[in-house]
Structure 1
Amino acid sequence: MTASVGATAPPRSVSGGSLVGARRVTATVFAAQGAAVAAVSTTVPAVESRLGLSDVAMTALTIALTLAAGAGSFAGLAAVRRSGPVPVMRAAVLTAAAALLFVAWAPARAAASAAYVLFGLALGAIDVSVNTRAATVERHYGRSILSSFYAAWSAAGVAAALLTAGVSRLGWPVQYVLTAHAVLVALLALTVRLHALRPVPSSSSDRPAPDEAVPGRVWARLVPFGVVLLVAYVVDSTVAAWSTAYLHHTLAASLAAAPLAYAAYQAGTVTGRAGADLMVRRVGPPAVVRTAALVAAVALAGLAVAPSWPYAVVAACCAGLGIAALTPLCVAAAGRLRPDAPETVLARLNVFNYVGVLVGAGASGGLGATGHFRIAYAIPAALAVVLVATARFFRPTAPEPPQARTTRRAGPAPVLPAVVDRGRRS
């Protein structure tokens, strides 16, 4: 997976139809996951009310979902190695749709808890399989395109949040709201098709450096990107999982207006991610990371002190704009550590993802349950400032001099390298 600054060459490694189709399918799965997550996040107050759950109980359910997602990530890794990412993507998205139905119609708290756990397992499997496929597609393109996939995730989140708000305004119960989301996610899953991406010869300059060939050193180099991802998901889970409850409980927004903060947050991420690949190519990843961290910090501070819910909606949009590029940049940088097996690195990177969600959702929910939602947004604001110091780790490695490559290999210059999907199918 590459995010080369200044690389603008068209994809050359496979036939155009297969590559475009693979990119479209990958974006569709990102969109399905974004819609599913939005469905769960924007129905928190309604599910609490239907099942008679307290804020503490809902926080416990969120934590259980996150732990299940971590387990699902490693289960997904095993499935990807056995069957390839595309079948896993399809099965996991269909499972997520089924879990949404179970959440919607669960007759009691125990059944709802099991449904949330099932959703978490599906979420983790989607994460590792779709990011593996995205890494493969990006390397075939030979330029930074990963942010466009995350833009699809965010755009679907906006649509799903607006769907929740619109259906709630019509007075529909949460069962019908979640059923509508489940149908949407299932329809997206049914469009997933395999577009084979044949392997191409890899160049010696693309092979891992000697220290990258040692697993322990790879994981040590993964830590800075993992820390950034952790903080990004602390921010993301704080805004995504609890902004609806924050607007409803603290800022007195109606159930119809409360999901608008989530929609605005995802709209900000769509905007940021739509331009992130271009900015990476123009100014480089470190500058993008520094700017993104500062914008997110200011926006979260504004969210913490918002006097009313319309101000919070604007601040949430700006927070999404700031945090947008951090996750795809982390995934791209981490994938370059093991270009021969990106799914292995990405499954471990997901640990930081879920720790961030666990900390963000757990801490924010706990603070919210005691009436301190504003503090829950002030803490991630401070963490976002710290990320400025990590920008240097995103500096692209200088390409190997042509003379050195010539002396290290014989034969004609290879074409652009590509990651081969692990497993029997690609």
Structure 2
Amino acid sequence: MTAPLPTQVPRRSVRRSPHAPARRAVATVFAAQGAAVAAVSTTVPAVQERLSLSPLTMTVLVVAVALSAGVGSFAGLAVIRRLGPVAAMRVAVVATAVALLLIGWAPDHAVVAVSYGLFGMALGCIDVSANTRAAAVERHYGRSIFASFYAAWSAAGVAAALLTAGTADLGWPAEYILTAQAGLVLALALTVRSHALPAESPFAVSDPGESVVLGRGLWVRLAPFGLVLLVAYVIDSTVASWSTLYLHQTLDATLSVAPLAYAAYQVGTVTGRACADRLVRRVGPAAVVRGATLLTATALAGLAAAPSWPYALVAAAGTGLGVSALAPLCLASAGRLRPGATEAVLARMNVFNYIGVLAGGAASGILGSTGHFRLAYAIPAALVLTLLATARSFNHRRSKS
């Protein structure tokens, strides 16, 4: 009679726990964003050819996405405070799917520019709302799980990139490809359910005046994480936004093969993020940052020197493996600085994010439009080595959390 009791107690506690449903909901939103970003990134050549856009115009549009995402991040902060992070995530994901449709079916340059701007706004709102919720869920788990959300982001990116490659191989035009991608994003949005964390949940959003309390000192504490995040997104933007065009223009890959570079990059990030939480718990975040930095620098150098597209695919996967843990570690560390005002802290972290996207997207696009895509990957290979100096900051924050 005593044997069943131990088995019944854990079963009851698991049933009552809201953590797993909340974690699934956040992972789904991350997946939707990853699929949407992949859809836009892998269709750059197709949209460019469909509307006869110049390389410089395409670069401006990519930069516009980053600028509008920065605005969307702070707009998302207001939506979170009014509706809560779950409702904000849902609204932003649906808006992202609508933007994909508009990009695909845009009849002229003006409409496609507005569509890319809407897409960026929606991405920014997803960023701040999903990361706020992710930080709250991680605090309830009491251990590192942040990278698992980004693994879902990358896995969906792989699926979307393969969808682009497959449909392009079938001869689908850009508008049909992006319609299929919008359907994928909407399907993910429909599975997001509201799941409250316990009443004492530390995810509760701060008052509007909280941003004043955060003060100038917060920027100082965010600086090491911000630098890592900035460089990580310089690299991510360079590979994600332009690798398809790099393979197509520089390495003579077909439109059906070129998106595989993005897929390979995301396969690397999925692999790295699936292991990152365990590595952080085993060797500490500083060691993970150092190892990731060295691997990323080596892989980027290989991507810059790739003699043909198969070599570029291997290098892109290595780059994704190396850079994969950097953003989750930065955001998790920053989110712990002010548990009662996570959404405000992460909105500030997104400033570094979008500066990195702007710098990487603009510089790579300009270099690519002048025929120097290889240089666009060689420069970040040297830049990433500067992150070795920031690694100790992650252990310092960990010891205080």
TM-score by length of 2: 0.93
Q: Quick one: distance in 2 between partners of 1:76 and 1:180?
A: 26
Contact 1:65–1:120 (8 Å) recurs in 2? yes
Aligned to 1:283: 283
Query: Post-superposition shift, 1:215?
Result: 2.1
What is the CA–CA distance in structure 2 between the aligned matches of 1:321 and 1:198, rounded to whole Å? 35
After superposing the two structures, state which structure 1 stretch, 231-240 or 14-23, moved more: 14-23
Structure 1 counterpart of 2:304: 304
Superposed displacement of residue 389, structure 1: 1.1
Greater relative CO (CA pairs within 8 A, separation 6+):
1
1:176 Cα deviation from its structure 2 partner: 0.5
Corresponding position of 2:18? 18
Q: CA deviation at 1:201?
A: 8.2
8 Å Cα contact 2:273/2:324 also seen in 1: yes
The aligned residue for residue 164 of structure 1 is 164
Matches within 5 A, 1:6-405: 16-200=16-200, 215-397=215-397
* Distance in 1, Cα, partners of 2:13 & 2:47: 48
RMSD of the alignment, in Å?
Answer: 1.8
Say which SS state the counterpart of residue 307 (structure 2) adopts: coil
Structure 1 contact 14–198 (Cα < 8 Å) conserved:
no
Per the TM alignment, residue 197 of structure 1 is displaced from its structure 2 partner at its CA by 0.5
Q: Distance in 1 between matches of 2:41 and 2:194?
A: 30
| Residues in 2 aligned to 1:144 and 1:84: alpha-carbon distance in whole angstroms | 24
Question: 2-side partners of 1:216 and 1:247: how far apart?
Answer: 44
8 Å contact 1:13–1:200 — kept in the other structure?
Answer: no
Matched positions, count: 382
Q: Residues of 2 paired with 1:384 and 1:291: CA distance?
A: 12
Unaligned runs of 5+ in 1: 1-9, 203-212, 401-416, 418-426
Q: Which runs of 5+ in 2 are unaligned?
A: 1-9, 203-212
Q: Give the whole-Å Cα distance in 2 for the aligned partners of 1:16 and 1:392.
A: 39
Corresponding residue of 2:209: none
**4+ residue segments displaced more than 6 Å:** 12-15
Deviation readout 1:400-419 (Å, 9 max, x if unpaired): 8xxxxxxxxxxxxxxxx9xx
Question: 1:317 is matched by which residue type in structure 2?
Answer: A
**Helix, strand or coil for the counterpart of 1:195?**
coil
Summarize the Cα distance change of 1:279–1:60 in structure 2 as closer, same or farther, 3 Å threshold: same
Q: TM-score, structure 1 length as denominator?
A: 0.87
**Cα distance in 1 for residues equivalent to 2:14 and 2:234:** 38
| Residues 390/106 of structure 1: CA separation in 2 closer, same or farther (3 Å cut) | same
Once the two structures are TM-superposed, the CA of residue 158 in structure 1 deviates from its matched residue by 0.3
Residue identity in the other structure for 1:56: L
Deviation, 1:25, is: 0.5
CA contact (8 A) 1:14 1:197 kept: no
Which whole-Å CA distance do the structure 1 matches of 2:256 and 2:54 have between them?
20
Describe the SS at the equivalent of 2:249: helix
Give the Å deviation of 1:200: 2.9
State how far apart, in whole Å, the 2-side matches of 1:311 and 1:183 are.
Answer: 33
Instruction: Classify the secondary structure of the residue corresponding to 1:147.
Output: helix
Aligned-residue offset at 1:187: 1.0
SS of structure 1 residue aligned to 2:339: coil
Q: What code does the residue aligned with 1:146 have? A: F
Give the drift of 1:223.
1.0
Shift of 1:199: 3.3
- Identity, % of aligned pairs? 67
**Change beyond 3 A, Cα 1:73–1:279:** same
Shift of 1:17: 4.4
Q: 1:91-146: per-residue Cα shift (whole Å, max 9, x none)?
A: 00000000000001011110000000000000000000000000110011000000
Q: Which amino acid aligns with 1:97?
A: A
Partners of 2:13 and 2:293 in 1: CA distance = 35
CA contact (8 A) 1:70 1:351 kept: yes
